[in-house]
Each structure stands twice: as structure tokens, then as C-alpha cells.
Chain A
Amino acid sequence: MDRIPILQMGKFLLVTIQVDLYDRLALNLESDLVQMVSKTGARGVLIDISALSIVDSFMGRIIGNIGSMSKIMDAETVVVGMQPAVAITLVELGLELKGVNTALNVERGMALLNKKIGSSGDGDNQEDQQDDTGTE
């Protein structure tokens, strides 16, 4: 059965979706990711959708589910790399992707994850926290 690979990098899980998703594949990704979060104790999930040319309501729901499921397992989710045309379409479709963090690209996504995890109290992130208050 087809599967989308999930990579572990330190405290994070990385997923790069490189193929067009059909429903089964998206559902498999959802359950694989949640199981991986539990198995690895990951604190963050980064999903790169830059290769996805469309996101419809079903895929949007899956992305939202991944976000909420990870959340209740104490992991943050960041979706990165959304194409502009996809963003325009999603808004018109009426899908808000509530509760999912997004970032422009992988680099900023990783920075966001680091910040989120730092601010949830790992100790050595005083600098990051000060940055937080500076920008808000």
C-alpha cells in the first residue's frame, strides 16, 4: 500500500508531500503521523505541501485533523509551502484550516516549531522568549 514517508529529525517529524493525494493516502498519512508522534515522542510535526497543486475540503480536513490530533498528544503542527493559488482557492472554498500553524517555507516553519516548543518551557530558550515579546 502507498505511504508517504515520515522523517524524524531530533524532536520533530518531517513530511514532504510530493505526490498528488488521493483520499486513502491522506487517511494513511493521518494515522501514520499520529502513531509516529506517540512512538517517537516528537514535539513538532512539519508538513511541506509545496508540491501540492490543489487542496480540497477533504485534504483540508485531514490537515486540520492532524493538527488537532498532534495537539492533544502535545506536538505542534506547522504546514509550510502553500502555493499562492492554493491559498486563494482555500479561502474562496470557505476552508479556514483552524488551529493549524502555517509558515511560508520549511526554514520559517522550523523556526516557528522551535519557538513554540521553546516557549512551552524547555529551559534554555530565554533568548527566543525575549524575541517573542519583542515582536508581539
Chain B
Amino acid sequence: MILVLNKDVMAIGNERDVVPFRNRVKEHAVKIGMSLVNQTKLITAASELVRNMLRYANGGVTNIETVSKGRENGIRLTFLDKGPGIKDIPQAMKDGFSTGKSLGLGLPGARRLVSEFDIVSSPGKGTTVTIIKWKNG
């Protein structure tokens, strides 16, 4: 059972929004006392996902939430876009696969950096990626 303690919504329209978004994520992570290493992992994962959103869907909306489960607090980030969607999610989650010109580390790399990772996509409608980093996770 995950409780939402705090929610912040931020629209991402161009790459200028990325740095303020990362800073906002950091503020939330600092507030729950997350260690520097976990903060860095979370923000790096967030940076990958927000870039995907910009590159493949021209932006979208992000939610930054402080959540708690039992005694554990964490940060949950949701990335919602209305882009073309992902046809083959298992393929997109493989290291080195990219339809753009990137290294193909965005999705699989982000998954390795966080505690929980969920992706839902329907071609033509968009993609929603949700990640959670627990404070001690």
C-alpha cells in the first residue's frame, strides 16, 4: 500500500525544462533525506526518461511524488507522454537498442538505477513510465 504524501506536476516542453526538472526532483529527494548516491541514481534515471519523452514525443507531463510504504519513504516519478508509443517494450528494454541515434541505455539504464520501474505504452496513444526510488533502496 503506497501512500502519496506530496505531489508536484511539471510540464516538459523543451530541453530548457530539463535542468529545472532535475533540480525539483533533487529538492524532493533531499527533503526525505535520501543519500547522495541514491539521489544521483534517481536524478540520472529521471534525466534519461525525460530526454526520451522530449526526443520521441516532443515532451509531456511529469509527476514528482513523495510516497511512503510502511516505514519506507521514497520518490515516485511518472512520465506521461502522448507520443507514438513503443511497439515492442521487451526490445526497448534491451541494452543497446535504440530507434534514435543514442546509445540505447536510456530505458534499461534507468531501470537499473531505480527500485521499481513500470512502463505502459500503447502505439499511437503514448507512453507512461513510472519509477520509484526508495530512500534506502
Contact = CB atoms under 8 A, between A and B. Distances in A.
- The SS class assigned to the A binding surface is helix
B2 interface: no
Interface residues of B, number: 26
A57 B109 contact: yes
B15 to A, nearest CB: 5
Contacts of B47: 54, 56, 58
Interface string A88-100: 1100111100000
B1 interface: no
B24 interface: no
Nearest to B103: A57
Interface in A68-113: 83-86, 88-89, 92-95
Contacts, number: 70
Interface stretch (B36-44, B66-74, B78-86, B116-124): B36-44
Contacts of A84: 37
Interface stretch (A18-26, A28-36, A40-48, A119-127): A18-26
A76 to B, nearest CB: 23
Interface string A1-29: 00000000000000000001011100000
Nearest to A24: B15
A88 B109 contact: no
Contacts of A115: none
Given A22-B19, A24-B15, 15 more contacts: A20-B19, A22-B15, A53-B43, A57-B102, A57-B103, A57-B106, A61-B103, A85-B36, A85-B41, A88-B40, A89-B113, A92-B113, A93-B48, A94-B95, A95-B105
21 contacts: A23-B51, A53-B40, A54-B40, A55-B44, A56-B48, A57-B48, A57-B102, A57-B105, A57-B109, A84-B37, A85-B40, A85-B41, A88-B40, A89-B37, A89-B40, A89-B113, A93-B44, A93-B48, A94-B105, A94-B112, A95-B105
